């Protein structure tokens, strides 16, 4: 049975394949309670981790020390619609934030494809959507409050950009973030269009598709020659969400039917190519206009694990073709589509995977209970050859030594980390692996 990170028992992530037993799990309701819990744990020599919604695909939340859950520190605290700024509790789920923003006629300019994450979890791992002019979600952070190991609170603003740039995407390694001030935009509607296109034509016209749509992405099913393309564009047209029945049918196709195909593929891997081709034939074109947050977020009940790479946008097609070649050559049983998205460059977070370059994100998945390591390792080797950087919230097999040189601001991040968490209170095995020990030598 799936357990939530609210009791004293084991903690399990969304995918159900990472778990740990914290010595203690607390749900503080105020900054003072966070400070007392953190200071107390540090004084006892214990480590502290924070869990958001547990939707990361790796073990970065895990601890045998203190696990903090900030669900009680949620909701909008301050709204300045004119300035386009809101302050929000770090534990707020994106779904709740979207609903509260909508009541004020506001919205986030972009989102990923689900809205179950906490704001802090999404920001801290560099979560992104798609849109060549839009950065990952953390680029919307104007300020944040951070509780350090000694219980003091640091308000990180653009007045000290070095700390803010380290903290935006920081995997919980600097302290406990208790609130954010975010830049928001007036609420907007999107026309959402989905259709299948031959893969060859999609790749031939990729630049036009990416540049010609506000939010463009595509999914391609290995062993098939079709891509499912999704184009979301801002519109002044009236909102006309799909009827409840149509929405339910679409959700059933995306979740129930797809899950059945995945189960069949897990049982009979040799049938995966056939199943993939059948799934692409079932995908019907659709078009509707809805509020942006309702268009961006989908329901995902099929459980899987995932790896995702940020590569220079110009290398996208080549990387994709290499992945398809390796799937064929090594006869990998891959039933899940590869998802391709596009993100603007930013230098606002030292650890942004889109740091300093127009970025294509390529995500590969494996259905729960199926072996993923051979596939993911092959994809990683390909991505690394194209200057790839892994998504911090997903699976990868890298260590700090291999990552340091891929991030131009790596050493600057580590300098802030050494300053804010000198004793490694907020570290765990995952962070030691991917960021190295605090004050360690894995620098560029």
Binding site for ligand FAD (CB under 6 A): 14, 49-56, 60-61, 70, 90, 112-114, 117-118, 120-122, 124-125, 127-128, 171-172, 176-177, 300, 391, 393
Query: Minimal distance in Å, beta carbon 68 to ligand FAD?
Result: 7
Q: What angle do CA 395, 166, 70 make, to 5 degrees?
A: 70
Residue 72, Cα to own-chain centre: how many angstroms? 22
- The smaller minimum CB distance to ligand FAD, of residues 120 and 262, is found at 120
Q: In the complex with ligand FAD, which residue's Cβ is closer, 223 or 259?
A: 259
Which H, E and C letters describe 72-108, residue by residue? CCCCEEEEECCCCEEEEECCCEHHHHHHHHHHCCEEC
Q: Between residues 96 and 273, which has the closer beta carbon with respect to ligand FAD?
A: 96
Supply the minimum distance, in Å, between the C-beta of residue 179 and ligand FAD.
9
- Closer CB to ligand FAD, residue 201 or residue 299? 299
The burial class, CB within 10 Å (0-12 / 13-18 / 19+), for 238 is: exposed
Nearer to ligand FAD, 7 or 198 (CB): 7
- Residue 342 Cα distances to 210, 224, 318, 352, angstroms: 7, 22, 15, 14
Residue placing its CB nearer to ligand FAD in the complex, 124 or 196: 124
For the bound state, the minimum distance from the C-beta of residue 149 to ligand FAD, rounded and expressed in Å, comes to 12
Q: In the complex, what is the shortest distance from the CB of residue 26 to ligand FAD, in angstroms, rounded to a whole number? A: 13
Token readout for 371 is 């072996």
**Residues 341, 128: contact at Cβ < 8 Å?**
yes
- CA-closest candidate to residue 115, choices 292, 304, 299, 343: 299
Residue pair 444/411 in contact (Cβ under 8 Å)? The answer is: yes
Q: Quick one: 38 or 280, whose CB is closer to ligand FAD?
A: 38
What CA–CA distance (Å, rounded) separates 435 from 440? Answer: 9
Residue 270's SS3 state is helix
Shortest approach of ligand FAD to residue 17 CB, angstroms?
Answer: 11
Residue, CB closest to ligand FAD:
121
CB of 243 to ligand FAD, least distance (A): 25
Provide, rounded to whole angstroms, the least separation between the CB of residue 120 and ligand FAD.
Answer: 3
Task: Using the minimum distance from each CB to ligand FAD, give the nearer residue, 120 or 400.
Answer: 120
CA distance 23 to 161: 35
Residue 325: CB minimum distance to ligand FAD, A: 26
List, in order, residues 6 or more apart from 205 with CB less than 8 Å away: none
């Amino acid at each position: 049975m799936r357990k939530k990170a609210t009791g004293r028992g084991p903690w399990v992530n969304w995918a159900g394949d990472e778990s740990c037993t914290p010595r203690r799990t607390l749900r503080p309701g105020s900054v003072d309670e966070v400070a007392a819990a953190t200071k107390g744990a540090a004084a006892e020599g214990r480590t502290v981790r924070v869990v958001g919604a547990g939707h990361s695909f790796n073990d970065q939340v895990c601890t045998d020390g203190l696990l903090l859950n900030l669900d009680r520190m949620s909701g909008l605290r301050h709204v300045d619609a004119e300035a386009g700024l809101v302050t929000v509790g770090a534990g707020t789920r994106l779904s709740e934030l979207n609903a509260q923003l909508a009541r004020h006629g506001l919205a986030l300019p972009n989102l990923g494809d689900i809205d179950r994450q906490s704001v802090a979890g999404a920001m801290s791992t560099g979560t992104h959507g798609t849109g060549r002019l839009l950065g990952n979600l953390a680029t919307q952070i104007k300020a944040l409050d951070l509780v350090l190991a000694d219980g003091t609170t640091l308000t990180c603003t653009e007045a000290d950009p070095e700390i803010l740039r380290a903290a935006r995407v920081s995997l919980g390694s600097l302290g406990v973030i208790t609130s954010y001030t975010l830049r928001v935009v007036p609420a907007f509607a999107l026309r959402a269009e989905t259709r299948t296109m031959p893969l060859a034509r999609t790749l031939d016209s990729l630049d036009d598709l990416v540049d010609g749509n506000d939010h463009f992405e595509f999914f391609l099913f290995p062993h098939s020659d079709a891509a499912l393309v999704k184009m979301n564009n801002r519109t002044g047209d009236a909102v006309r969400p799909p009827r409840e029945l149509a929405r339910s049918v679409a959700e059933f196709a995306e979740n129930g039917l797809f899950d059945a195909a995945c189960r069949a593929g897990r049982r009979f891997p040799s049938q995966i190519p056939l199943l993939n081709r059948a799934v692409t034939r079932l995908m019907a074109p659709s078009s509707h206009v809805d509020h942006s947050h309702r268009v961006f977020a989908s329901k995902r009940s099929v459980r899987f694990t995932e790896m995702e790479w940020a590569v220079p946008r110009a290398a996208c097609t080549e990387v994709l073709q290499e992945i398809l070649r390796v799937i064929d050559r090594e006869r990998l049983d891959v039933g899940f589509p590869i998802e391709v998205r596009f993100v603007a460059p930013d230098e606002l977070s030292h650890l942004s995977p889109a740091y300093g370059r127009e970025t294509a994100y390529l995500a590969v998945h494996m259905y729960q209970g199926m072996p993923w390591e051979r596939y993911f390792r092959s994809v990683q080797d390909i991505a690394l050859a194209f200057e790839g950087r892994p998504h911090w919230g997903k699976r990868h097999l890298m260590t700090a030594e291999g990552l340091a040189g891929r991030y131009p601001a790596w050493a600057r991040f580590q300098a802030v980390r050494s300053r804010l968490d000198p004793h490694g209170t907020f570290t765990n095995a995952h962070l030691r692996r991917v960021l190295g020990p605090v004050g360690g030598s894995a620098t560029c």
